[in-house]
């Protein structure tokens, strides 16, 4: 779907200057995820991982929030700011994890686990969040699970790979919803091992949305912020990066002298390490959404009120 059916930027327009002007006029803040294209990251007021972005969204005094990320991120910002306008440059920017956990099926699944508390990864819909006790991101998932007594049975949804990494890290059983990120699940263990042979001095930094076979070869498993921190701090001169390729922009800026080696997916012919949803946002769509103040995120107020409780619980536990 084209969210701006009749809208294109006027030819020859300086999009950077226009975005600056509109941001000022509207008292808008632009929040961007590390997987966005470089121009968007560079013009954003703040670039971060999912946790930092939701913390920023919770604190902002801007009247309009433009979320350069995917739908569940903008939706979380709207739940935290029901009275503000939240814009997403392309409303089709979804996520395979959120789409793979339909709320009605999730409710049926949860009914099979009475007495369980429910931890949901932030990559899910508002309706799924509304059925959860607490939300987590990849940077605080271990801490959130640890906040429950050891004998408390837990459901973890929707990412089975993140959930199983937490299980292995804490040696604790979790009931896992069988979802996955379509980008991270196709990193190839075989090709990663071949890269390690080719670059024996390289360290490996991987996102916990990857399968266990890939993660077992990583020196660091962490969120996008944790991966960037590790890349800055490691004395290694070569880093194999096992996450979405958008992160390389900040990593190159931080580490001009290090060699960054993006890990390949299992298919030579595709750009499998690029998230097709994140990449729907472009600088032109960012300009258009500020100019036209659409597409706007809306959330059913009753669902939003329920979803706010586990989001706030996460923010409190993450202070």
Interface residues with ligand 13P (CB under 6 A)? 49-50, 123, 137-139, 181, 209, 223-224
Helix (H, G, I), strand (E, B) or coil at 173: coil
Report what 60 binds from ligand SF4, ligand 13P, none; CB cut-off 5-8 Å by kind.
none
The interface mask with ligand SF4, positions 225-254, x = CB under 6 A, is -------------------x----------
Contacts of 305 (CB under 8 A, 6+ apart): none
Report the alpha-carbon distance of residue 33 to residue 162 in Å, rounded.
19
Q: Which range, of 19-27, 126-134, 274-282, 303-311, touches ligand SF4 by CB under 6 A?
A: 274-282
Residue closer to ligand 13P, measured from CB, 176 or 210: 210
Answer left, alpha or beta for residue 187, where phi above 0 means left and psi between -120 and 50 means alpha: beta
Between 29 and 95, CB nearer to ligand 13P: 95
Q: Rounded to the nearest 10 degrees, what angle do helices 50-59 and 71-80 cross at? A: 30
Q: Which two tokens stand for residue 218?
A: 């990583």
Asked if 261 is part of the footprint of ligand SF4 (rule: CB under 6 A), the reply reads: no
Contact between 22 and 63 under an 8 Å Cβ cutoff? The reply is no
Strand partners, 30: 66
- Contact between 66 and 117 (Cβ < 8 Å): no
Q: Does 40 bind ligand SF4 (CB under 6 A)?
A: no
CB atoms within 10 A of CB 17: 10
Q: Is 183 in the site for ligand SF4 (CB under 6 A)?
A: yes
Cβ-based nearer residue to ligand SF4, 18 or 185:
185
Determine which residue in the list 39, 182, 284, 296 makes contact with ligand SF4, applying CB under 6 A.
182
- Interface positions with ligand SF4 (CB under 6 A): 70, 95-97, 123, 181-184, 209, 244, 275, 277-278
């Amino acid at each position: 779907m084209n969210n701006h059916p009749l809208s294109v930027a006027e030819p020859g327009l300086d999009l950077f200057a226009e975005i600056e002007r509109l941001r000022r006029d509207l008292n808008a803040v632009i929040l961007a995820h590390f997987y966005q294209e470089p121009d968007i990251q560079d013009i954003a007021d703040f670039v971060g991982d999912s946790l930092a972005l939701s913390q920023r969204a919770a604190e902002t005094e801007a009247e309009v929030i433009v979320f350069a990320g995917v739908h569940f991120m903008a939706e979380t910002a709207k739940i935290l700011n029901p009275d503000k306008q939240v814009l997403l440059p392309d409303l089709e920017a979804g996520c395979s994890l959120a789409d793979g956990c339909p709320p009605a099926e999730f409710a049926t699944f949860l009914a099979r686990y009475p007495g369980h508390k429910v931890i949901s990864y932030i990559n899910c819909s508002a309706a799924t969040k509304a059925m959860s006790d607490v939300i987590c991101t990849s940077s605080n998932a271990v801490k959130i699970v640890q906040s429950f007594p050891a004998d408390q049975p837990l459901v973890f949804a929707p990412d089975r790979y993140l959930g199983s990494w937490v299980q292995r890290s804490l040696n604790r059983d979790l009931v896992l919803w069988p979802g996955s990120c379509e980008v991270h699940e196709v990193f190839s263990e075989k090709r990663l091992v071949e890269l390690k042979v080719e670059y024996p001095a390289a360290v490996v930094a991987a996102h916990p949305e990857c399968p266990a076979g890939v993660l077992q070869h990583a020196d660091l498993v962490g969120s996008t912020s944790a991966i960037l921190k590790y890349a800055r701090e490691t004395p290694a001169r070569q880093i194999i990066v096992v996450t979405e390729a958008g992160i390389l922009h900040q990593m190159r800026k931080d580490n001009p002298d290090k060699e960054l080696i993006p890990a390949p997916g299992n298919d030579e012919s595709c750009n499998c390490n690029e998230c097709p949803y994140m990449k729907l946002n472009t600088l032109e769509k960012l300009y258009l959404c500020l100019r036209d103040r659409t597409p706007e995120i809306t959330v059913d107020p009753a669902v939003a009120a329920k979803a706010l409780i586990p989001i706030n619980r996460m923010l409190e536990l993450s202070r």
